[in-house]
Amino acid sequence: MTELPLITHWVDGAPLRGASTRTAPVFNPALGAVAKNVILASATDVDTAVASAHAAYPLWRDTSQAKRQGMMFNFRELLNARKGELADILTAEHGKVTSDALGEIARGLEVVEFALGMPHLSKGEYSENVSTGVDVYTLRQPLGVVGIISPFNFPAMVPLWFFPIAIAAGNTVVLKPSEKDPSASNWMAALMTEAGLPAGVLNVLHGDKEAVDALLVHPDVQAISFVGSTPIAQYIYETAAHHGKRVQALGGAKNHMLVLPDADLDLAADAAVNAGFGSAGERCMAISVVVAVEPVADDLVAKITARLKSLKVGDGMRGCDMGPLITKVHRDKVASYIDLAQTDGAEVVVDGRGIEVDGDASGFWLGPTLFDKVSTDSDVYLDEIFGPVLSIVRVASYAEGLDLINRSRYGNGTAIFTNDGGAARRFQNEVQVGMVGINVPIPVPVAYHSFGGWKDSLFGDAKAYGPAGIAFYTREKAITSRWLDPSHGGINLGFPQNA
Ligand code: NAD
C-alpha cells in the first residue's frame, strides 16, 4: 500500500515536521476517502512557530512601507496568476465546485488589494501648535505576533481576510487553519515567500484544540483573530481576552431572507437557491431560512422547488452546481435534520437523501433539501445546520417577520426582498443584524468596508478587514512634542493645560 502524503507545518519560511507525532486524516469529500494526513501540533510546536514569528518581528516592523507594499504587490500578482492551482486544492480538500472556489479566491484577492493601501490607511494625524510651540500627532504601529485561527469552509478566503492586513501593517503571524482542509494555507505561505516575504513573518501551524489552546495563552502572542462556530468563538474570546490579548472572534449564523408580498418572486427564488445551496450551504452567510410574508409562500415554495430539481450535484471538478459536504460525520448530522423536520411537523418538500450524483458513490453527498411550514420552536429552525437545507417559515406581516429575525441568537447576515423602498429602508434601520442585503442575498461587504455580525455571530468588538481590520492590527500612539525653548522652563505641578 502506498503511503499517503503528510502535510507538515510551514515555519521560518520552510516546511517543518515538528515534535508532535499526532496526525489527522484529510479527506477528498467527493471520493469519500482519506487523501492525505496532516500533522497536529503540540504545545512545543506552537512555541517553535511563535518563536519564529517573534524573532522575525523587529526587522519586519522596521522594514519600510515601500518594501512591505512591494512584497504584497508581488503576492497579489502571483496569486492572481496562479489562482487555478489554489482552486484545485480547495475543491480536492473542501469539495466546493471550481467556480465557487475561484469566487472565494477573488474575494480574498480583494483584501490583498485593500492591504496594498496600508501606507495610506495607517497614516496618523497631526495637529500643529495645540499649545504654544506644542504639536500633537498620532502613529499607528503594529502589535507584534498575531494568531489567526480559521474554519474549514473558506480555506483560502478567511485566512486572506486577515494575514495580508496583519502583515502589511508590520505584524508577524502564526496561522492555524482548519485541520480538515489545511493545504491551502501552506500553498499561500509558500507563495508569500516567493513574493519576497522574509522567513518567519508568516508561519502556518496545523493542529486542533491542543495547538489553539497553546496559542491562546502564549505570552508572545499579542492578538487573536478567530473564525468558526459560535461555541468555539465564545471560548476563544473569553480565554484569549483573559490572557490579555486583543481578540476578534467571528462565530456561527442562521441567516433569514424576508420576502415581502410585492417582491419579484422569480428573483427571490433565484436568490434563495443561490444563497441557500452554494457551497452546499457550508457558508456563514448562507440563507438558511426564507421568511415568506403571506400570501406569497405557496408561489415561492413552488418556484424554489422547481429550481432545486434542476441542480446538478457532484464532483466539483466536473462542472456541477453543488459539491459534497466536508466529512461523513457532518453529512450524516445534516441529513438527520430531515427526520427531525418530519417529527417536528414540517413538510419535507425536497428530500436530498439518495439523490443521483455525478461523482463517486462513496462521496459525502446530500442533495438540496427544502422544508416548508417549519416551526420556530424546532431545532431545524434554531440550529445552524450548515448544509444544503433551506427552511421556509410563513408569517402574516412584515412586523412578524422582523420580530422573528430579531429574536434569533445570531446576527450575521440577513436580506429583504421587496420593491418597496420605504419598507427596505425601515428594515435596514430596525433589523438587529450586522450585515444587511436589500435584494442582495449574500451581503458580504467589499474589502474596504468591514465584515462581521452582531450578537452570537461575533465576540469582541472588532469586525474583520476594512477599516476595522486596520484598527485591529495596529495600535495608536499619541505624541505630544515641544522643541526646546527656554521660555517654557519653570516648575508647575498642575495638570498640563494648553495655552
Ligand atoms: P469550528 O469552530 O469547528 O473550527 C474553527 C477552528 O477552531 C478550526 O481551526 C478548529 O481547528 C478550531 N477548533 C475546533 N474545535 C476547537 C476547540 N474545542 N478548541 C479550540 N479550537 C477548536 O468551525 P468549522 O466547522 O471549521 O467552521 C464552520 C463554522 O464557522 C460555522 O459555524 C460557520 O458559521 C462559522 N463561520 C463563520 C464565519 C463568520 O465570518 N462569522 C465565516 C466562516 C465560518
Any idea of the CA torsion for 273, 274, 278, 280, to the nearest 10 degrees?
A: 0
Cβ(386) to ligand 1 under 6 A? Answer: yes
pLDDT digits (tens, 9 = 90+) for 117-148: 999 999 999 999 999 999 999 999 999 999 99
Cα dihedral across residues 94, 97, 102, 108: positive or negative: negative
Q: Which helix (H) or strand (E) holds 134?
A: strand 134-142
Cβ(172) to ligand 1 under 6 A? Answer: no
d(CA 28, CA 95): 7
CA 25–ligand 1 middle distance (angstroms): 17
Q: What is the mean pLDDT of residues 212-228?
A: 98
Cβ(150) to ligand 1 under 6 A? Answer: yes
Give the 3-state secondary structure of residue 386.
Answer: coil
Contacts of 492 (CB under 8 A, 6+ apart): none
**Best probe residue, ligand 1, of 153, 236, 451 (max atoms within 8 Å of C-beta):** 153
pLDDT tier for residue 225 given thresholds of 50, 70 and 90: very high
User: 105 near 83, Cβ under 8 Å?
Assistant: yes
152 Cα nearest atom in ligand 1: 26
Give me the pLDDT at residue 97, please: 98
User: 380 near 337, Cβ under 8 Å?
Assistant: yes
Residue nearest to atom 18 of ligand 1 (CA): 209
253 Cα nearest atom in ligand 1: 34
Cβ(225) to ligand 1 under 6 A? Answer: no
Give me the pLDDT at residue 1, please: 59
Contacts of 167 (CB under 8 A, 6+ apart): 60, 68, 72, 115, 173, 192, 197, 201, 202
pLDDT tier for residue 68 given thresholds of 50, 70 and 90: very high
Please name every residue paired with 76 in a beta bridge, in sequence order, or none if there are none.
none
Query: Is the per-residue pLDDT at 198 higher than 90?
Result: yes
Cβ(149) to ligand 1 under 6 A? Answer: yes
pLDDT digits (tens, 9 = 90+) for 27-57: 999 999 999 999 999 999 999 999 999 999 9
d(CA 419, CA 357): 38
Please name every residue paired with 34 in a beta bridge, in sequence order, or none if there are none.
27
Q: Which helix (H) or strand (E) holds 196?
A: none
CA 35–ligand 1 middle distance (angstroms): 22
Instruction: Give the whole-number percent of the chain exceeding pLDDT 90.
Output: 96
| Residues present in the chain in total | 499
Residue nearest to atom 30 of ligand 1 (CA): 228
d(CA 366, CA 325): 7
- Count of C-beta atoms within a 10 Å radius of residue 157: 23
Q: Which of 41, 173, 263, 284 is catalytic?
A: 284
Helices (H) and strands (E) in the chain, counts: 16, 23
CA 237–ligand 1 middle distance (angstroms): 13
- Count of C-beta atoms within a 10 Å radius of residue 223: 22
CA 233–ligand 1 middle distance (angstroms): 7
User: 416 near 314, Cβ under 8 Å?
Assistant: no
pLDDT digits (tens, 9 = 90+) for 394-408: 999 999 999 999 999
**Best probe residue, ligand 1, of 107, 284, 386 (max atoms within 8 Å of C-beta):** 284
pLDDT digits (tens, 9 = 90+) for 313-370: 999 989 899 999 999 999 999 999 999 999 999 999 999 998 999 999 999 999 999 9
386 Cα nearest atom in ligand 1: 31
Q: What is the mean pLDDT of residues 272-299?
A: 98
Residue nearest to atom 35 of ligand 1 (CA): 228
Q: Which of 432, 449, 457, 410 has the alpha carbon at shortest distance from 250?
A: 457
Cβ(250) to ligand 1 under 6 A? Answer: yes
Cβ(284) to ligand 1 under 6 A? Answer: yes
pLDDT tier for residue 499 given thresholds of 50, 70 and 90: confident
CA 295–ligand 1 middle distance (angstroms): 38
Q: Which helix (H) or strand (E) holds 353?
A: none
Cβ(183) to ligand 1 under 6 A? Answer: no
CA 492–ligand 1 middle distance (angstroms): 56
Q: What is the mean pLDDT of residues 275-296?
A: 98
User: 360 near 380, Cβ under 8 Å?
Assistant: no
Residue nearest to atom 31 of ligand 1 (CA): 229
Q: Measured between alpha carbons, how far is residue 467 from residues 101, 114, 138, 156, 259 in Å?
A: 26, 10, 17, 21, 32
| β-sheet with 413-417: strand ranges across | 347-350, 369-372, 389-395, 287-293, 255-259, 413-417, 435-438
Give the 3-state secondary structure of residue 439.
Answer: coil
Q: Which of 378, 387, 383 has the alpha carbon at shortest distance from 410?
A: 383
d(CA 366, CA 370): 12
Cis amide linkage into residue 58, ω under 30° from 0 = no
Tell me the one-letter amino acid at 420. D
pLDDT digits (tens, 9 = 90+) for 82-124: 999 999 999 999 999 999 999 999 999 999 999 999 999 999 9
Cβ(181) to ligand 1 under 6 A? Answer: no
Q: Is 284 a catalytic residue?
A: yes
Residue extents of the structural domains in the chain: 6-251+457-478, 255-438
Q: Do domains 6-251+457-478 and 255-438 have the same CATH topology?
A: no
Q: What is the pTM of this model?
A: 0.98
Q: Which of 302, 322, 305, 275 has the alpha carbon at shortest distance from 437?
A: 275
- Cell numbers that stand for 16 in this block: 517543518
Q: What are the φ and ψ backbone dihedral angles of 213, each rounded to 5 degrees?
A: -60, -40
Angle between helices 183-194 and 157-168 (to 10 degrees): 30
Q: Where are the alpha helices (DSSP H) in 15-156?
A: 43-61, 65-81, 83-93, 98-115, 118-121
> Which CATH number applies to 255-438: 3.40.50.2300, 3.40.309.10, 1.10.3210.10, 3.40.50.300?
3.40.309.10
Cβ(224) to ligand 1 under 6 A? Answer: no
Query: Is the per-residue pLDDT at 440 higher than 70?
Result: yes
Burial class (CB in 10 A: 0-12, 13-18, 19+), 497: exposed
Mean pLDDT of the residues in the chain: 97
Please name every residue paired with 174 in a beta bridge, in sequence order, or none if there are none.
147, 203
Q: Considering the domain 6-251+457-478, what is its CATH architecture?
A: 3-Layer(aba) Sandwich (3.40)
CA 140–ligand 1 middle distance (angstroms): 30
- Count of C-beta atoms within a 10 Å radius of residue 310: 8
d(CA 317, CA 64): 42
Residue nearest to atom 9 of ligand 1 (CA): 178
